[in-house]
Amino acid sequence: MNPPAGEVPRTYPDGKPLLEQPHWQQDFPTDVPEDDHVARREFVKFLVLTSGAFVAGQLWIAAASSLRKNGRLPRQQVSTVAELEARRVVEFRYPDEHEPCLAICLAPGRYVAYGQKCSHLACAVIPHLDKGELHCPCHNGFFELSDGRPIAGPPRRPLPLVTLEVQDGVVFATGFELRTI
């Protein structure tokens, strides 16, 4: 029952030689290293399949990127300067009715506006003017009030910036800018 010269002897899970294995094992010997090879090959196959899934995801993003509209956004009235300075925060929707936004008066003559959806999971952020921050209550995310950048919690991207224009005492929204940093 010894293996031919030059061939690596088969090993078994309990480490004992073939002669000390139970009868059923001697009758139907399992080549354990060969078995391991097959298991590893199956795992590599699964990894390659995962690799293919990642490529599919990348191509989906690329297709979505190509199909995205890049038109010029409309100019929309947000509020009057007097109203914004009196209320300090004005809610509006821009560029369409599905995008809630906040116009904030930081100081007289100094206005900013952000998309209200948290960049983490799109919950509505709440401004805390006294603390100088915007708070997302869903997962305790915090954003800087003056520039919309994330300062704590899970969000990694800033809030979308709405560009404003003031003309004749009226505040207009003119653009919607997604940001990564």
179 near another protein, judged by CB under 8 A? yes
57 near another protein, judged by CB under 8 A? yes
Q: Which stretch binds another protein (CB under 8 A): 52-60, 75-83, 98-106, 133-141?
A: 52-60
Kindly report the number of other CB atoms within 10 A of residue 146's CB atom.
13
110 and 147 Cβ atoms separated by less than 8 Å: no
5 near another protein, judged by CB under 8 A? no
Q: Which stretch binds another protein (CB under 8 A): 64-72, 98-106, 107-115, 133-141?
A: 64-72
- Two tokens, residue 127: 């401004």
From candidates 1, 5, 19, 64, binder to another protein by CB under 8 A: 64
180 near another protein, judged by CB under 8 A? yes
- Measuring CA to CA, which residue among 33, 45, 25, 28 is closest to residue 9? 33
Strands 150-152 and 161-167: unpaired
43 near another protein, judged by CB under 8 A? yes
> What residue type is 147 in one-letter code?
D
Angle at 160 between CA 157 and CA 161, to 5 degrees: 125
39 near another protein, judged by CB under 8 A? no
- How many residues interact with another protein (rule CB under 8 A)? 33
- CA–CA separation, 180 vs 17, rounded Å? 62
Q: Tokens 């948290």: give the residue.
A: 118
Half-sphere exposure in the Cβ direction for 141 (13 Å, CA): 24
For another protein, give the closer residue by CB, 47 or 129.
47
- Two tokens, residue 12: 């078994």
Q: Which stretch binds another protein (CB under 8 A): 43-51, 99-107, 132-140, 147-155?
A: 43-51
68 near another protein, judged by CB under 8 A? yes
Residues at the interface with another protein (CB under 8 A): 8, 33, 37-38, 40-41, 43-45, 47-48, 50-52, 54-55, 57-59, 61-62, 64-65, 68, 119, 156-157, 160, 177-181
